[in-house]
Amino acid sequence: MSTPSVLITGAGIGIGAACAEAFAAAGYRTVLTDVLHDEGEAVAARLRDAGHDAVFRPLDVTDTAAVTAVVAETEGEGYDAVVANAGIVRRRGFTELDDAEWSRTLDVDLHGEMRVFRAAVPAMVRRGSGSLVALSSVSGAALGWAEHVHYSAAKAGVIGLARALAVELGPHGIRANALAPGFVRTGQSLDVVNSMGEDALRDSVSAIPLRRVGEPADIADVALFLASPAARYVTGQVVVVDGGLLVQQR
């Protein structure tokens, strides 16, 4: 049996790095990509030191030619899974949100996922199998987020992308699902300027039935499940991983 393989974008930090660790531990040949060169290479080096097959490739998911080249170089006969995780978040009031900021956020958070999937799917079709895991957010699945209209819109688009791909690619044996994390402790969420910050993240615990903020590994383990044969009949779904946030009665 051949070694399964996975491509993970935004794998230098946070949820992406945790996904790389989870997939590597499960025996996957892991290809990490990120615009953060030093961080991505450090994660890959740590995995290699632990005996795993892991490589890092610098990648800006807004660059179509670069996405196509990295996938072609690393996919072999086709990836078993692709985890599209690269994303950005910027705080901006709606009336101050200009076209450039709106377009930049959608270009990374939505179009970037599309580009990576589009490059990887042909080889998956040829092999007749594959799993696409698209990172969305509770802010795209159910919640609005003030001063983050562009982010919420992009993450809602990710859900539509996953659902439509599930229908179109299902006959080829390819599954597509969206993963919607709630409040997770990452460098991004701790950014008080553009995201929540430490205080707001801590205060959110009262709204979470499990009474804790999520960790990147909590999300990575579900991504691994969605990519695995254990989820072989799961496609077109939005899997919310939020400690019960969305079902908490206010």
Beta-carbon count within 10 A of 158 CB:
26
Choose, from 28, 79, 151, 233, the residue flagged as catalytic.
151
Per-residue exposure over 105-135, b if at least 16 CB sit within 10 Å of its own CB, e if not: bbebbbbbbbbbbebbbebbbebebbbbbbb
Distance CA 175, CA 172 (A): 9
Domains and CATH numbers, the chain: 5-247 (3.40.50.720)
Active site residue 79: no
From first to last of the 250 residues of the chain, give the pLDDT tens digit. Answer: 689 999 999 999 999 999 999 999 999 999 999 999 999 999 999 999 999 999 999 999 999 999 999 999 999 999 999 999 999 999 999 999 999 999 999 999 999 999 999 999 999 999 999 999 999 999 999 988 988 999 999 999 999 999 999 999 999 999 999 999 999 988 777 777 877 788 887 888 989 999 999 999 999 999 999 999 999 999 999 999 999 999 986 6
Distance CA 89, CA 106 (A): 10
